[in-house]
Structure 1
């Protein structure tokens, strides 16, 4: 028994420390496949390879990184350490990765970073930190990353109210930043004041009750894509809300609680091409909401509570794709699409299913989309599902009281 016990202990230790198996492709890309046990990344597994440009250690059950693990890699530009079990990075473990431009640390268990961790990584272009447990970013931690253009902080535990307004002061070249699935409520108004070339800002699921000031500052004229979906925004009453976002092309306000919106709120966004307002609580559309917005191509208003659709709201716009499905209107203006075409708006795809249609009104719009060769969701009108309500008098009634009646009948029997 005395001789047997040390052998068992040694084999156990070897199993815990079993290295991932690494393969080299094209003499430059190192990809490692994990063993069955957790592993501390050590010097020697991927280090000291002059020609290596990419190292992929994804899903390798790595729990920690030793010093000099990336030593002797003068050509290295890409490191993927995603989907591991790393909960801390000690100061100095990334010092040898001076030429790296892409660092993926996503989906680990990181909570924060020691100040100075990125001091030698001045060439970083892409830093992916999504899916960790990061709850705090110390002022100065990002200062060395003056070349950084892409920063993903999504799916962490950050709180905007704890962020310094000067956190990104040296990161003036960031073009893409993702805060989604963090609590950005209470963030400093000037949080992004240093950005000069930002193109995309993602604030999906950030606990916002209104459009945050830090997302619409005057230095953000370069933004093309703004995501504000899945928050608690209930109204946008200030017509100047987006006045600084001259170059915005895609605005996502879906899955909020929007009940009202100012009729001129989009007018200042001259380059807007797509607006997503689906899954809100809109009951009425302002009469001129999208009128004469020549570059606006795609409008999604599905899954709201809209009871009346003013044709004027779309006149003279560039709308080609219009989605009004799953609302509460039972009729549209007579010759709705023709009225729009006469104003210069040529709809090519139109979704209007799952509304409490009057059967006579539905027939009119179906005839119109067919005669004008407009694509629509014909599968929803296959004759098998209930799609409209008929009264004894088969005529399209276009009065508010009639709309209320057809809503009640449709939803009580649907």
Structure 2
């Protein structure tokens, strides 16, 4: 008998310990916040009340934010939350153990604007989960276990500004998922398994400015897939399996400022690839097997500041390649097979601050590749085959950090911010001694052709007054100065 009583007590205690419970600690910030401790490991929806102890002169109607505490656990979102706090604008259930969102989970939160359920295990969402949340602006569903989402999930959420479905297992984006979402600004679908997107998927979402499609399995995109996205600013397509770049994709996105195409399988970019990208500031083409780029491919990119061409199997740089990218300050060309730098190839990059050419096939460095770069402070030539350096190189750049590791004539990484650059001159002495002035090559049609010709005529004149060169601004001033040098020579 005593044994039966003990068992009964144990069962009652176990049942009580498994009963779902909810309680709030309140934060009296600008927005009255309930920090909810939710104990509901079985995902039951039978919680009848939330234990509250309000601050003075506060009621349930004053609560506008519910945020679960780090001690909370629940497989679902109990409807008691919205039944209790009818004026909620934000629900945040980060790392709570959620596995689903039911039809009635947030249906009574009519004023809900922000729904954050990141880093859970949600695998199922009812098609009408957000049907009653007409004020919803932001939905953060990233880092869950979704393999699909209902096509009409956001049908009644016309005010949505941001949707984040990154880090799930989505394979296909429903064709009408974004129907009617004309206010949408940010759509983030990175780190999924998306292999196909329908051509008119974005037809209604005309105001998207930031689009994240990186780290998926895309091999092909329809010609007009982004044709309705006139307001695009940032596009992330890195780490996919795209085999070609189509200039028609972004022909209407004339305000584009960042394009990430890193680590795809693109072998060729047509010369008109970026013809309308007048406002582009960041372009990431690294880790594509490009090998060669057309000379005028960047002709429209006068606002470009960051260009990444690392790991592209590039062998040759056209002398006109960077002619129009005069605002570029970061140029990354590491891990290619570039064997020479043509005369004037970096000539127009007057704001260039960092040049990385690590691990190429360079054998010599000539000052004529650079002309004049007062802002070029960091240069990385490590892991090449350099056996000769033009000493005038140090006169036309203002480098303070120079990497020449694992080269033939020098092996080191040095910092020298002095005006004389004595450290660099000492360490590169052998490189200077090995340098032989090559025949001058002046590329036809290049804006720097006249400068190149004048420099050829004054080859016997050394750049003794580097300070004069540092004061020259613009091509006209430079040509005028060189002509003066010619006329004054014996």
1:225 CA drift (Å): 0.7
1:290 counterpart = 2:322: yes
In structure 2, relative to structure 1, the CA distance for the partners of 1:391 and 1:195 (3 Å cut) is: closer
- Tell me, what secondary structure is at the counterpart of 2:434? coil
CA deviation vs aligned residue, 1:349-375 (integer Å, no higher than 9, x gap): 23223133546528x37x817x95423
- Tell me if the contact between 1:292 and 1:314 (Cα under 8 Å) persists in the aligned partners: no
- The TM-score, its normalising length taken from structure 2, stands at 0.70
Tell me the equivalent position of 1:11: 14
Q: 1: CA distance between counterparts of 2:388 and 2:179?
A: 65
Displacement, 1:270? 3.3
SS at match of 1:40: coil
Q: Could you tell me how far 1:33 is from its partner in structure 2?
A: 2.3
Q: Distance in 2 between matches of 1:21 and 1:386?
A: 65
Match of 2:134 in 1: 98
C-alpha separation in 1, matches of 2:222 and 2:12: 55
2:292 alignment counterpart: 260
Distance 1:315 1:39 in 2: 61
Please point out which of 355, 361, 377 is paired with 1:349.
377
**Aligned counterparts of 2:72 and 2:288: Cα–Cα separation in 1:** 44
Counterpart of 1:54 in structure 2 is 90
Return the offset for 1:377. 4.0
Verify: 1:374 aligned to 2:377, yes or no. no
What's 2:77 paired with?
Answer: 41
Task: Compute the displacement of 1:104 (Å).
Answer: 0.2
CA contact (8 A) 2:247 2:274 kept: no
Q: Distance in 1 between matches of 2:84 and 2:182?
A: 28
Q: How does 1:152-231 map to 2 (within 5 A)?
A: 152-160=188-196, 163-213=197-247, 215-216=249-250, 218-231=251-264
Q: Supply the RMSD in Å over aligned alpha carbons.
A: 3.2
8 Å CA contact 1:94–1:117 kept in 2: the answer is yes
CA distance in 1, matches of 2:25, 2:313: 54
| Structure 1 segment 304-383 matched on structure 2, within 5 A | 304-321=336-353, 322-334=355-367, 337=370, 340-341=371-372, 345-356=373-384, 358=386, 361=389, 364=391, 368=394, 373-377=398-402
Q: Which residue number in structure 2 is paired with residue 109 of structure 1?
A: 145
For 1:59 and 1:170, how far apart are their aligned partners in 2?
A: 33
Contact 2:76–2:102 (8 Å) recurs in 1 = yes
2:99 aligned counterpart, secondary structure: strand
Assess if the C-alpha contact under 8 Å between 2:189 and 2:213 holds in 1. Answer: yes
Q: Deviations over 1:118-172 (max 9, x none)?
A: 1121111010000011112222221032211100011111112xx2211111111
- Where do 5+ consecutive residues of structure 2 fail to align? 33-63, 413-426, 440-490
Per mean C-alpha deviation after superposition, the further-off stretch among 307-316 and 387-396 is: 387-396
Distance 1:313-1:32 versus aligned 2 partners, 3 A rule:
same
CA contact (8 A) 1:183 1:206 kept: yes
Aligned residues of 1:18 and 1:37 also touching (Cα < 8 A): no
Alignment coverage as a number of residue pairs: 384
Looking at structure 1, the residues matched to 8 and 216 of structure 2 have their Cα atoms a distance apart, in angstroms, of 50
Preserved CA contact (<8 Å) 1:19 1:39: no
2-side partners of 1:18 and 1:146: how far apart? 40
Contact residue 20 and residue 34 of structure 1 kept, 8 A: no
Partner in structure 1 of residue 187 of structure 2: 151
CA shift, 1:73, in A, is 3.2
Q: Which residue of 2 aligns with 1:395?
A: 434
Structure 2 match to 1:409 = none
Structure 2 partner of 1:278? 310
Distance 2:247 2:11 in 1: 62
Partner of 1:233: 266
Which of 1 and 2 has greater Rg? 2
Render the CA deviation track for 1:265-306: whole Å, top value 9, x for unaligned: 111333322211112211211111102433333222122221
Counterpart of 1:86 (choices 122, 125, 137) is 122
Q: CA deviation at 1:259?
A: 0.8
Q: Which consecutive unaligned segments of at least 5 residues does structure 1 have?
A: 401-414
1:125 matched to 2:157? The reply is no
CA distances 1:32-86 after superposition (whole Å, capped 9, x unpaired): 0255755221111355424533221010001122333224434432111011011
CA distance 1:73–1:36, shift in 2 (3 Å): closer
